[in-house]
A and B are shown apart, each in its own frame.
Chain A
Amino acid sequence: MRKPEFVYVSYIETTPERLWEALTSSDFTKRYWWNTSVVSDWKVGSPFSLVLNGQTTDVSEILEADRPRRLSYSFHHILNEAARKERPSRVTFVIEPHGKLVKLTLTHEDFEDGSVILDGISKGWPAILSSLKSMLESGTALAIPAAALDIEGLK
């Protein structure tokens, strides 16, 4: 049986450099990612964390950083107890020029069997990346109510 993974592809009218900036700058992520900050110096092996309204929700490390082409970090949610016990999973963003557009491919993989975060990230990423696309193309991120995603632990 195939290992579970979540893959999401989008096409955005922007440049690879702007998209990289949007993924790695908290000024941007706070706008499209429910006020979440991304904290890191973006060097391979450096710590990486997600901070929501002052509370750290994920702690992990940078695995690959090839600006503006490829970014990979481990992903370890620490607020929910069951999620904290899981080994870190892995998130990779691949940024490719595609004509006048940029193709963004997100792969979230390496989950434990019966992972409790797989459901949450499968619902969360489409909303986050849809809002990212809107912000880069129209200047305004989407106001998607986080509660409407029906993710356990966010209710």
Chain B
Amino acid sequence: MSHSVPSFVYTTYIETSAEKLWHALTDGDFTERYWFGHRVASDWKVGSSYKFARQGTGSVEGKVLISDPPKRLAYTWHPCSADAKRERTSRVTFDLEPRGKVIKLTVTHDNLDEGGKTLRDISGGWPMVIASLKSLLETGRALPADLPSCAAEKTDA
């Protein structure tokens, strides 16, 4: 909270297993269903690249920093938009921790530019994406994709 470089932290609890949640975060067929059409692709080895694309158009890409299934995944975050490219490279970390029969998922997005476009976009975007992920894992249905805005994934107009 008191860092000079802002970070965004979002925690939720999901009735699933750590393995299923890991799969949901790293499998393109799965992300396409809850991440409003965005497919992810990577071999998920540390140092490898990954890319999100929607209908073939890249939206976010980066490098895998930590890959410790099914506990911890981290990657750099480069939105494929001109504005965001001028900002520093931010980082996303997913922590998956069993809590009784549910999994605590903590998404930490840090190393963000103060007042930057990425901070604004991801602050609106993560709660939507994670809410949809939780719904899909618990009910079998993702949230409807006709959201008025899906800020994390918007590319430049």
**Chain A interface (Cβ < 8 Å from any Cβ of B):** 1, 4, 8-13, 98-101, 126-127, 130-131, 133-134, 137-138, 140, 142-145, 148
Q: A100-B144, A101-B143, A137-B138 in contact; A142/B131 too (CB < 8 A)?
A: no
Q: A101-B144, A142-B13 in contact; A1/B131 too (CB < 8 A)?
A: no
Q: A13-B143, A100-B144, A133-B134 in contact; A145/B100 too (CB < 8 A)?
A: yes
Kindly list chain B residues whose C-beta atoms are within 8 Å of the C-beta of A138: 15, 138-139
Name the one of B15, B132, B144 contacting A134, with C-beta atoms under 8 angstroms: B15
Kindly list chain A residues whose C-beta atoms are within 8 Å of the C-beta of B104: 148
Kindly list chain A residues whose C-beta atoms are within 8 Å of the C-beta of B12: 10, 126, 130
Using CB atoms, name the residue of chain B closest to A131.
B13
User: Digit string of B56-98 for contact with A (CB within 8 Å is 1, else 0)?
Assistant: 0000000000000000000000000000000000000000000
The reply to whether the CB of B11 lies closer than 8 angstroms to some CB of chain A is: yes
Q: Are B127 and A99 in contact (CB under 8 A)?
A: no
Q: Are B14 and A1 in contact (CB under 8 A)?
A: no
How many A-B contacts at CB < 8 Å in the complex? 67
Kindly list chain B residues whose C-beta atoms are within 8 Å of the C-beta of A12: 131
B-side interface size class: 20 to 34
The reply to whether the CB of B102 lies closer than 8 angstroms to some CB of chain A is: yes
Other 10 A-B pairs with CB < 8 A, given A13-B135, A138-B15, A144-B100: A4-B1, A8-B127, A10-B127, A11-B143, A13-B141, A126-B12, A137-B138, A140-B15, A144-B13, A145-B99
Kindly list chain B residues whose C-beta atoms are within 8 Å of the C-beta of A99: 144, 146-148
B99: min CB distance to chain A, Å: 4
Q: Are B147 and A98 in contact (CB under 8 A)?
A: yes
Q: Are B102 and A144 in contact (CB under 8 A)?
A: yes
A-B interface, 9 closest residue pairs, ranked by CB to CB distance from nearest: A11-B131, A130-B13, A9-B127, A126-B11, A148-B99, A145-B100, A130-B12, A100-B144, A138-B139
- Give the complex CA separation of A68 and B78 in angstroms: 39
- Give the complex CA separation of A126 and B97 in angstroms: 14
Q: Are A143 and B143 in contact (CB under 8 A)?
A: no
- Give the complex CA separation of A101 and B132 in angstroms: 11
- Give the complex CA separation of A11 and B104 in angstroms: 18
The reply to whether the CB of B55 lies closer than 8 angstroms to some CB of chain A is: no
- Give the complex CA separation of A132 and B109 in angstroms: 25
A71: min CB distance to chain B, Å: 19
- Give the complex CA separation of A130 and B15 in angstroms: 10
Kindly list chain B residues whose C-beta atoms are within 8 Å of the C-beta of A140: 15
- Give the complex CA separation of A126 and B15 in angstroms: 14
